[in-house]
Amino acid sequence: MNVPVAVTAVYVAYAVGLLLTFGTVLTWVERKQAAIMADRIGANRAYVRIPFTQIRLIWWGLFHGLADGLKMLFKEDFRAVPYDRVAYALAPWVTFVPVMLVFAVVPFGGSLAPGRLFPALAATYGTQSFRMQIAPLDAGLLVIFAFGGLTIIGTMLAGWSSDNKFALLGSIRAGSQLISYELVMGLTIIGLVLIYGTVDLDTIVRRQSGTVLGILPAWGICYQPFAALLFLTAAIAENKRIPFDLPEAESELIAGYYTEYSAMKMGLFMFAEFIEIAIVAALFTTLFLGGYNLPWLTDAGFVFPGGHRLALGTGTVVVMQVLTFLAKVLLLCSFQILVRWTLPRFRWDQLLHFAWKILLPLAIANLALTAIAVAVLR
Amino acid sequence: MSRPAHRRKRYWNEPRMGWWERAYLFEVARGLLITGGVFTANMWKWITGRKGALTAYYPEEIRADYAAGNRGKHVLTQRPDGRPQCVACNLCATVCPARCIEIDAAFDPDDHAHPKYPVRFEIDYSRCVFCGMCVEACPEDAIRMVPETPGLPSFDRDRMWIAREELLHWKPQHDAAKPYPPADSSGGAP
């Protein structure tokens, strides 16, 4: 399918805007949710004063993210004497860029027909419709794992080039942890790949649009509940968040592999981490929660199990699908933050034990059972 | 040099983990339910316009649970006509261990009962230790302490002086037991 440049540009703008917004807003969500879980109020002192008036916009502390960003931009870019200057300067970008790229293959909506949505564009696009996905690749899942694996290089580069024991310890931990959990993540996904018979994310999402057993939505989590659990665990570990935050355990390693970074370089690491929350949520949504699918919503409107129909226009359906995807992603982000502020950190040996002796056998068992079931039912 | 092998001390009440706890997942789910429940309850309070936190906004909000006998900010009591009950005797300033009360006395010839009154009555809250001795020393019940302490902190030490007018009016109190002018007990005006 040949997608015009204009459509792709709109998609890219949407995706980049979305990810950057998520990265900023999630810092606020994290603070506020942690505060509310702990019977506190949370950050609410930063404000923007409308010029020439005394009206202060506080907006529940939303501007703290802005204040953070400004602080990081204007802080002194302190440079330790690194072991390797090029690697030191490169590391934040090697961590940040792949995280942004992963979203390229995630479908964030059904199909978009610009000609039918906006009559003014009908002359240009006719009745063509395009998948709402920046890069409609057949190898979507593989691309995700390829880019996901790149972040390891970033952390290793940062730790190695900083010439700092804490940073090196952090990056060694990060390397072994990420590789261990990536294995688990990959094995949990293969079950889904067996069921759907493809690694194209758009097809996977489309396969999840119907219902199973009459009432349940045909989401991946209904076919593979166990894999969903394992995947979420491994994904949180991939993201190096509590309870798996040993690479940057602040009570042991200062800040782990980015100890020697300051100002916006450190900000990039933090930003990548927060965007990765959204990415993990988007991946889980795509693979296990039906992506942009609402139960019983088709391209023509709702079709309820009883046979009732509720016809909706194309524009409404597109907007609903996009919003559904966003809502699922937000809920999952919130869930990850809930996990972070609930569970205590693992010990290092427990972490590897958990990956290799518990998660990996479970993932393999799940894969074997799925393979047998798929072979028998086919 | 050989060191004895480290042996962790065992306590009599060490918690033991059963298979349920060892399975980890169930306890994780329980923990998530607890924190999620707290979050939902608090969030519901915030959404419905109530306060879902134990924290008091400071300094905008006066906390509600001050002890009744807490010694907080001072109040100068008023006579029914609104003038201070203080007779500028300087007893409070003398007894004050932090020496943070400053009084300038003046003479009011029209007020026969209490011609001496304070034109300036200031308390330096950067030094006040809230001991309450001024209240005990006062013969006129002119100075009191209330439980609350609003408006005391400041970024600047010079702004922590609180003057007569605020002490009189921030929480007006009258001494109902003492009518003014006082009943004449001397047997006739001089």
Question: Closest approach of chain A CAs to the CA of B53, in angstroms?
Answer: 4
How much is the average pLDDT of B75-96? Answer: 90
Of B115, B128, B109, nearest to B167 by C-alpha is: B128
Residue B68 or B94, more confident:
B94
Verify whether the Cβ–Cβ distance B36 to A339 is below 8 Å: no
Verify whether the Cβ–Cβ distance A342 to B31 is below 8 Å: yes
Confirm if A224 and A366 have CB atoms less than 8 A apart. yes
Residue B105 reports pLDDT greater than 90:
yes
pLDDT value at position A89? 86
User: Which chain A residue shows the shortest CA-CA distance from B24?
Assistant: A354
Of A238, A246, A251, nearest to A284 by C-alpha is: A238
How much is the average pLDDT of B147-176? Answer: 86
Per-10-residue mean pLDDT, chain A, length 378: 76 88 88 90 86 85 86 84 82 88 84 73 73 82 86 87 86 88 88 86 81 72 86 88 82 82 86 88 88 74 70 77 88 91 87 88 91 87
Structure tokens at B120: 């300036």
Confirm if B75 and B167 have CB atoms less than 8 A apart. yes
Mutation for A interface: B34, B39, B47, B50, most A CBs within 10 A? B39
What is this structure's pTM? 0.78
In B, which residues are within 8 Å of A339 by CB distance? 32
Cis peptide leading into residue A243 (ω within 30°): yes
B55 in A contact zone (CB under 8 Å): yes
Name the residue type at position A93. W
Confirm if A92 and A261 have CB atoms less than 8 A apart. yes
pLDDT value at position A78? 81
Of A6, A11, A40, A71, nearest to A270 by C-alpha is: A71
Name the residue type at position B44. W
Between CA B88 and CA B86 the distance in angstroms is: 6
Verify whether the Cβ–Cβ distance A39 to B53 is below 8 Å: yes
User: Which chain A residue shows the shortest CA-CA distance from B47?
Assistant: A36
A33 in B contact zone (CB under 8 Å): yes
Confirm if A99 and A272 have CB atoms less than 8 A apart. yes
Torsion-angle region of A296 (φ positive above 0: left; ψ -120 to 50: alpha; else: beta) = left
Confirm if B134 and B92 have CB atoms less than 8 A apart. yes
Question: Closest approach of chain B CAs to the CA of A342, in angstroms?
Answer: 6
Least confident range from A20-34, A210-224, B8-22, B139-153: namely A210-224
pLDDT value at position B186? 58
Verify whether the Cβ–Cβ distance A37 to B31 is below 8 Å: no
A58 in B contact zone (CB under 8 Å): no
Verify whether the Cβ–Cβ distance A39 to B36 is below 8 Å: no
| B residues 118..147 contacting A (CB < 8 A) | none
Tokens 């990959």, residue? A186
Residue A306 or B91, more confident:
B91
Between CA B45 and CA B51 the distance in angstroms is: 6
Residue B23 reports pLDDT greater than 90:
no
Task: Give the phi and the psi of residue A211 in degrees, each rounded to 5.
Answer: -125, 160
Verify whether the Cβ–Cβ distance A41 to B53 is below 8 Å: yes
Identify the helix (H) or strand (E) that includes residue A298.
strand A297-298
Structure tokens at B100: 């943070």
In A, which residues are within 8 Å of B31 by CB distance? 342-343
pLDDT value at position A179? 87
Tokens 């169930």, residue? B26
| A residues 320..349 contacting B (CB < 8 A) | 338-339, 341-343
Of A104, A126, A106, nearest to A116 by C-alpha is: A126
B66 in A contact zone (CB under 8 Å): no
Residue B188 reports pLDDT greater than 60:
no
pLDDT value at position A214? 64
Between CA A63 and CA A70 the distance in angstroms is: 11
Between CA B189 and CA B180 the distance in angstroms is: 16
Query: Counting beta carbons within 10 angstroms of the beta carbon of residue A103, is it exposed (0 to 12), middle (13 to 18) or buried (19 or more)?
Result: buried
